[in-house]
Amino acid sequence: MKSKKSTFYFLLIGGRGNQLFIINAALGLLKKNPNLAINLFPFCTSVNLGVKEIIDSFKMENNRLLIEEGLFGKPAGALTRKLISAALRSSSKKSIAYRICLQIIQNCLMLALSFRSGNLVRVFVSKDLGFGGFPSMKKNTFVIGYFQSAKYGLNFQVDKKYSGPIQSKKQQGSVRVMMHVRLGDYRENPNFGILSPTYYKRILDCIVLDSPSVKLDIYTNGSAMEIAEYVSIVSDISELKVFAAEDLNESESFDKMTGGYDYYLIANSSFSFWAARLGENRIATVYYPEPWFLKQGSPSDLCPLEWIPQPARFVSG
């Protein structure tokens, strides 16, 4: 007897880093379930260019992956957008009132989405930023969540545009270090927290002690003026380059950050998480802050086990 095919509708939320987490979880499901189709819906944003390249390459091999960009962009989708925003805010709350609110929102979403798609669609809202199970694959399901966890595996690769040499710590000579400082939009959300210069300095000092020559590249979404305090902590570095917001756009930064670095000093940012995860040097050492966020709950099982946690120090809080 032939198995019934079903469709999971994944909501694409946020910028490149957040979208990559969602795509990664969706592609993992697609690979494991031959009777499942995946439809991707951008929410209040367009599909990031780097993410679209991954989707397009996957679509060439598999016709079970689709993008539908118009669902929430039309005036008729305004109520649906508001319901989804409310569901995202409510999903992490623990009180009974919030759980009741979330159930009502899910029921309203189910009716709205079923009407718009012409098929009965249930709604699944992940209650954790990180790893969590999915419902049965036998029913059409609209999936809302962030899925920020290494436990979903690595279900895609990217075409590298970096053409520089790949160094190895096992070889004598210089080591290349990537350091990412997330400023910009994090100033507008104090719950995330901006990592202080002392967080990076502690790690850099250890690398310098262990290496005869260090070449450091600092990336930031802030300005060169904003990053000055972080540059001032650097000492005993053979070569230093700073790439600020005015120097590179997002795609250019990401392409260079995935180059052949020996060490990654990532920020509490999904952007530098994926730069390190997709980096060309597979034996690179990656340092990440613990906890991930200052005031907001951190995703569970976010980073691979081989990555090294370091005590986070924030600018404030």
Per-residue confidence in pLDDT tens, the chain, 317 aa: 455 678 888 888 888 898 899 999 998 888 888 888 888 877 765 667 667 777 776 665 566 777 766 555 454 455 556 666 666 665 555 667 666 766 776 777 777 767 666 677 788 878 777 777 787 777 888 888 889 999 888 887 766 544 444 444 545 578 999 999 999 888 888 889 999 999 999 999 999 988 889 999 999 999 989 999 999 988 888 999 999 999 998 888 998 999 889 999 999 999 999 999 998 777 899 999 999 999 877 877 899 999 999 999 998 64
Structure confidence at residue 166 (pLDDT):
45
| Residue 265 to residue 183: CA distance in whole angstroms | 15
What b/e sequence results for 13-48 when a residue is b if at least 16 CB atoms lie within 10 Å of its CB, and e otherwise? bbebbbbbbbbbbbbbbbeebeebbbbbbbbeeebb
Q: 242: helix, coil or strand?
A: strand
Structure confidence at residue 1 (pLDDT):
42
Single-letter code of the amino acid located at 137? M
Domain positions in the chain: 6-149, 174-311
Which of these, 62, 6, 10, lies nearest to 37 by C-alpha position?
6
Q: In what order do the strands lie in the sheet with 122-125?
A: 65-67, 36-42, 6-12, 141-144, 122-125
Q: What are phi and psi of 235, to 5 degrees?
A: -145, 155
Which CATH class name applies to 174-311? alpha beta
Structural contact between residues 28 and 137, judged by C-beta atoms closer than 8 angstroms: no
Structure confidence at residue 162 (pLDDT):
45
Structure confidence at residue 84 (pLDDT):
64
| Residue 282 to residue 212: CA distance in whole angstroms | 22
| Residue 1 to residue 252: CA distance in whole angstroms | 50
